[in-house]
Amino acid sequence: MHFLKEIKNLVNTILQRKIKLSGDYKSWEEALKLSKGYSDHKIFEKTKKSLESVLLKQAKFERDSFLFYTEKYDETLLLIFTKIKKKIKRIHLCDFGGSLGSLYFQHRSIFKSNLIDWNVVEQKHYVKYANNKIDIKNLYFYDNLNFLSKKRINVVLFSSSLQYLKYPYQILDKMIKKKISKIIIHRSPFMKNNEIIKIQYVPKHIYDSSYPIRILNINKICNKLKKAGYKINSQYKLNEEIDGYFYETFYFEKTI
């Protein structure tokens, strides 16, 4: 298996199909200036086109605009949700940076409306398109955080999104202030005592774009949440990496 993985990585590298990171930038603004950015129209158009295939049932789900044609659940996320369901009758979820509902569609066969209220926070043009195109009972889209109190959100999910925010720690502060009891940081790269801002280059076969990424300081995040009364309920090191930085998942739970 290890040999096959190495061959696959070599082929991807030769064909320039792997995601690459470069640089060590002094600020988010510097990295943003030297990249195309998240508002790159190519990303939205490719994601929109992929969603249409999902809605037409030509594919099961999309992730980062890449289509999947068979059901494949995120086992780590399901483990965490199973733990949460033992304590909460109905999950009111804030999926921060959830695109056009990628994770919802990936798991829609098991995330029934009586179990979960799924709320995606995204850029305005994503939300406008989603609200015009998607009409599903328990799936909603917002371009701001004003709904957090009104909908009594009890779980916030950052699935491969916190590392792409200009102000990740300020966003965490907002979730803490709203007293959201459970915070999941999923599929993110971390460092223990430092953090680095780089540019991520997406290969052409996906959508040929680039944008800033932050290798997050997990000690800084843990200390912030600990001071606010949270503890780590679960921690997972994933068999997934981005240019040498392995993804991890942390599930924090408020105890006081």
pTM: 0.90
Per-residue pLDDT 10s for the chain (256 aa) are 444 443 343 334 333 457 899 999 999 999 999 998 877 788 899 999 999 999 999 999 999 888 999 999 999 999 999 999 999 989 999 999 999 999 999 999 888 777 899 999 999 999 999 999 999 989 999 999 999 988 999 999 999 999 999 999 999 999 999 999 999 999 999 999 899 999 999 887 777 789 999 999 999 999 999 999 999 999 999 999 999 899 999 999 999 7
Sequence-ordered list of residues with C-beta below 8 angstroms from that of 148, at least 6 positions apart, any chain: 94, 174, 175, 178, 180
With tokens 């690459």, the residue in question is: 20
Give the start-to-end residue ranges of the domains of the chain: 21-254
SS (H, E, C) the chain: CHHHHHHHHHHHHHCCCCCEEEEEECCHHHHHHCCCCCCCHHHHHHHHHHHHHHHCCCCCEEECCEEECCCCCCHHHHHHHHHHHCCCCCEEEEEECCCCCHHHHHHCCCCCCCCEEEEEECCHHHHHHHHHHCCCCCEEEECCCCHHHHCCCCEEEEECCHHHCCCHHHHHHHHHHCCCCEEEEEEEEEECCCCEEEEEEECCCCCCEEEEEEEEEHHHHHHHHHHCCEEEEEEEEEEEEECCEEEEEEEEEECC
| Cα angle, residue 139 at apex, residues 134 and 145 outer, rounded to 5° | 110
Domain 21-254, CATH class in plain words = alpha beta
